[in-house]
Amino acid sequence: MLELYMIAHLIFSVIQFLVGVLANGFIVVVNGTDLIRRRKMVPFDLLLCCLATFRIGLQMVMIFINLAVLSLIKFSPVPGNITIFMYVHASELWLATWLSVFYCAKIATIANPLFFWLKLRISKLVPWLICGTLTYTFLTSVFHRKHAWIISQKSWLGFFSQNATTQIEDISALQYALLLIEFVLPLFIFLISALLLIFSLGRHTQQMRSTETGTRHPGMSVYINALLSILSFLILYVAQYMMAALGFSEIFKIRNSITLFCILLFGSYPSVHSVILILGNPKLKQNSKKFLLYSKCCQ
């Protein structure tokens, strides 16, 4: 019988799943409609569309994990399941990282030749970054499927088994180091781009405030909103990494309220950030208002 906090976890996980699928599905539909109408898609919309697609996949994986943790369905940590999770999760992380790099290149103002080169070519690089990312994550997921399976058995055994007594083989330090590097690399790139963008926006906002003469600068709110948006992106992205790191640390126990909260926090990033993307993107925000207005008219 499910306890009260487990029932609450089930309700929140279903809400999280629905919000994530609807928000990311909305992004895919809007950009896909533009593609059909105009016969082309700008690089930023292509990146958003790919990111939203993998976030839908990640939400499906997360609802499966949530149901398994609550023992509502049977979970079998076979290599195939772990490989799919690795591919979806790694692809989503890398695409979100490139989104942060795109924001940084387009918005930040930094006097550096390399940064100026990136600013001029980032739009042309987006399709290549997407193709390279999907190929790289697929190859690494397949290559490390055995080692990832061993680690996942060790770290997740407490989730799905009350008496974790199964003997599991160890992996070499080299393989573990390679997995760790591949896990941390997108975080490292994301932090550099996000912090550069925050520094640039904060400096520009401070300059605008210092030049004010009693009246608020009309562009001030734009920079403040952009700063808050990238800050929320940074917090959610890092929080997901922290929850993933805790998950691999083998400290969780099955049916523990803290464990369930951490799983919810891990899955909230692709849902909440997609909503933030819709609210912060003029085209997506306008289409969402049209959709809500149309829904009210139909009712």
Could you read off the pLDDT of 283-299 as tens digits, one per residue?
Answer: 888 888 877 777 667 66
Give pLDDT, residue 156. Answer: 57
Average pLDDT over residues 120-124: 90
Q: Give the residue with greater pLDDT, 72 vs 172.
A: 72
66 closest CA partner among 268, 249, 236, 239: 268
Calpha distance 43→48 (Å, rounded): 9
Band (pLDDT 50/70/90 cuts) for residue 145 is low
pLDDT in tens, 31-62: 888 888 888 888 889 999 999 999 999 999 88
List the Cα angle 27/239/52 in 5-degree steps: 15
Whole-model pTM over 0.75: yes
Q: Is 4 exposed, middle or buried (0-12, 13-18, 19+ CB in 10 A)?
A: exposed
The Cα diameter of the chain in Å comes to 71
Domain 1-298 listed as CATH 1.20.1070.10: yes
Instruction: Kindly report the average pLDDT of the chain as a whole number.
Output: 79
Q: What is the mean pLDDT of residues 114-123?
A: 88
Residue 6 has a pLDDT of 79
Core vs surface per residue 29-51: b (16+ CB within 10 A) or e: ebbeebeeeeeebebbbbbbbbb
φ, ψ at 108 (rounded to 5°)? -70, 150
pLDDT tens digits for range 235-274:
888 888 777 777 666 555 555 677 777 788 888 888 988 9
pLDDT tens digits for range 152-175:
655 555 555 555 444 455 666 777
The residue extents of the domains of the chain are: 1-298
215-231 confidence digits (pLDDT tens)? 555 555 666 667 777 88
